[in-house]
């Protein structure tokens, strides 16, 4: 066999192996996402390159505090990135710059060290099964559940797993410490 024939056979083997490994991972496990806009500043900046974990939510529900990527409920062709604030069955009340979570008789004020802008406006919403209340970290510049309501669970694509770019901000995010 010629060197050229061996090269093309190895190249074909590499391409097939790449497709067999990369396509299922990209389709079912992880997907790239580029942040567009300032709604998540300072946690995530415009243009940052993230990897989204699409597998975890097949085994568990989203956790308060996780940053998720989801299909915008008003236009499912668009993807948004926001932080999970309210979980199914809870009532979320926003007033006086604070977020209060109520579930049954239990009520607490959310501690949000990741935000610098406490201009929240006012809102109140009770979530049904399979609904999540999400907010951007840059509250005054975020179009979120205050404007269009809860995110259905079926719209959630996944959670932020890794920030890959810019290189000086590479971060691996744990389950709920986004």
| Cα atoms found within 13 Å of the Cα of residue 119, Cβ hemisphere only | 6
**What residue spans of the chain are helical by DSSP H?**
3-28, 145-148
The pLDDT of residue 171 is above 80: no
Q: Which residues contact 64 (CB under 8 A, 6 or more apart)?
A: 84, 85, 86, 87, 101, 110, 176
**3-class SS of residue 20:** helix
d(CA 89, CA 68): 19
The model's confidence at residue 178, banded by pLDDT at 50, 70 and 90, is very low
Identify the pLDDT of residue 7. 77
Question: Which residues are part of the catalytic machinery?
Answer: 39, 82
Q: Report whether pLDDT(18) > 80.
A: no
pLDDT value of residue 34: 80
What digits encode the pLDDT tens for the residues 60-90?
Answer: 999 999 999 999 999 999 999 999 999 999 9
Give pTM, 2 decimals: 0.79
How high is the pLDDT of residue 91? 96
The pLDDT tens digits of the residues spanning 105-162 come to: 999 999 988 887 777 778 889 999 999 999 999 888 888 999 999 999 999 999 988 8
Q: How much is the mean pLDDT over the chain?
A: 83
């Amino acid at each position: 066999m010629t060197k050229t024939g061996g090269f093309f056979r190895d190249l074909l083997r590499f391409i097939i192996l790449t497709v067999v490994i990369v396509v299922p991972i990209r389709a079912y496990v992880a997907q790239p996402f580029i942040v567009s806009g300032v709604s998540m500043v300072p946690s995530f900046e415009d243009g940052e390159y993230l990897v989204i974990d699409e597998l975890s939510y097949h085994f568990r529900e989203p956790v308060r505090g996780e940053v998720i990527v989801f299909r915008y409920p008003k236009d499912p062709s668009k993807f948004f990135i926001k932080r999970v604030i309210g979980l199914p069955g809870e009532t979320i009340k926003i007033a006086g710059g604070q977020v209060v979570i109520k579930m049954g008789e239990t009520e607490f004020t959310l501690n949000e060290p990741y935000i610098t802008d406490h201009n929240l406006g006012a809102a109140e919403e009770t979530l049904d099964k399979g609904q999540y209340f999400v907010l951007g970290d840059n509250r005054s510049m975020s179009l979120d559940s205050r404007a269009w309501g809860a995110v259905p669970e079926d719209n959630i694509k996944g959670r932020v797993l890794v920030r890959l770019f810019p290189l000086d901000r590479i971060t691996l995010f744990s389950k709920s410490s986004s």
